[in-house]
Amino acid sequence: MEIGIVGAGIAGLGAAYELRGTDADVTLLEKSRGVGGRAATRRKNGCTYDHGANYVTPDPELEAFMRELGEPAGIDDPVWTFDAEETIEPGEDRDRPSLTYEDGIRRFAKEVLAECDAALETETRVESIAREGERWRVESEERRYGFDALALTPPAPRTAALLADTDWDAAIREELVEAIEAVPYRTILSLVLHYPFELDRPYYALVNTDKGHEISWFSREECKPGHVPDGESLLIVQMAPDWSLERYGEPEEAVAGAAAGLAADLLEEPPLESPDWTDCGRWRHALPDEGANTDVLARAEDDALYFAGDWVVGEGRVAAAFENGRELGERLLQQRDEPL
């Protein structure tokens, strides 16, 4: 059976992982240059930073899996909280570890990929899908593919857009598009601010708990082993959804300058107003706030069309996306011997 998986983020990789070592012929089609999707890492000027997902909070089973595959790095310093009045306080103890890797969170995706025997086509943006008899035809700008079963894992709005244009004469199509479009998302501008000096604080990160501040998350990449050379600081400042949406198209210089000013105020540390270099992650569809109607999604399986991703479960977490992808892989395996 030929299976196409659109998207090599954590969910798509989870599905491919479950299908490894079987006679399923799996192809991952990924629009970016590499795998991992929103579990993303960049490198610049000797620093490594996770400008999308910051860390994985695995349950014991996933933690064991990550340790079996490679060497994740724990973040030992705590996460504290702040509110609209900028009162900073210790947070609650975490019951799960916070894991990334010395060379960044994208490593997790690379390690899962290394276990898979799927073919990976990067820089392949799927432009359209169509049902042709018992097969799915999938087209990128460059190529046309054919699959017996197709899994869509891009964020819900991208998946809905693909389905809206699909040549697929099924009563369920419109209902599916509606159910997937209904998933609400938060937009996040993630500003990366570098300083040629150390910042001494008793916490790794601050999270805004009353949703009343322009900053929703602030963290120090130097607390992750191997990410930032000694004597430097690299801050990740994730802006609140309204702020991010309003200023989404503004140049990096403007949004980074504003974020640096807000961070300097929050920490009462005026030198933070002037980073020596910056970067910006623009996440239009950063985090789903709810899940899709899975009863509607399941009805597409009659036509060998499947979905996976954090938006399917309504939990914007790497662990949730991975588990959802693996569940999809298991379902595909169960159905492998049945006519699709």
Ligand X SMILES: Cc1cc2nc3c(=O)[nH]c(=O)nc-3n(C[C@H](O)[C@H](O)[C@H](O)COP(=O)(O)OP(=O)(O)OC[C@H]3O[C@@H](n4cnc5c(N)ncnc54)[C@H](O)[C@@H]3O)c2cc1C
Neighbours of 224 (CB within 10 A): 28
- Build a one-symbol-per-residue string for 195-234: x at contacts with ligand X by CB under 6 A, - elsewhere: ----------------------------------------
Q: Which residue among 120, 149, 206, 287 contacts ligand X (CB under 6 A)? A: 287
Span from 169-177, 201-209, 262-270, 310-318 in contact with ligand X (CB under 6 A):
310-318
β-bridge pairing 2-6 and 149-152? parallel
Neighbours of 62 (CB within 10 A): 19
Q: Which is nearer to ligand X, 165 or 302 (CB)?
A: 165
Question: CB 9 → ligand X: shortest distance, Å?
Answer: 2
Altogether, the residues listed in the chain come to a count of 340
Cα dist from 261 to 215, 218, 267, 277, whole Å: 11, 13, 10, 14
Taking the C-alpha atoms of residue 182 and residue 225, their distance in angstroms, rounded to an integer, is 39
Q: What's the CA angle centered on 241, arms 320 and 277, to 5 degrees?
A: 95
Question: CB 337 → ligand X: shortest distance, Å?
Answer: 27
- Build a one-symbol-per-residue string for 139-168: x at contacts with ligand X by CB under 6 A, - elsewhere: --------------xxx--x----------
* Binding of ligand X by 316 (CB under 6 A): yes
Q: Which of 335, 330, 1, 257 is nearest to 148 (CA)?
A: 1
Residues 6+ apart with CB under 8 A from 68: none
- Build a one-symbol-per-residue string for 9-28: x at contacts with ligand X by CB under 6 A, - elsewhere: xxxx----------------
Interacting residues with ligand X between 98 and 137 (CB under 6 A): 125-126
Interacting residues with ligand X between 233 and 272 (CB under 6 A): 238
Interacting residues with ligand X between 49 and 88 (CB under 6 A): 52-57
Phi, psi for residue 50 in degrees, rounded to 5: -100, 100
Footprint of ligand X on this chain (CB under 6 A)?
A: 6-12, 29-32, 37-39, 52-57, 125-126, 153-155, 158, 188, 190, 238, 283, 286-287, 309-310, 316-319, 321
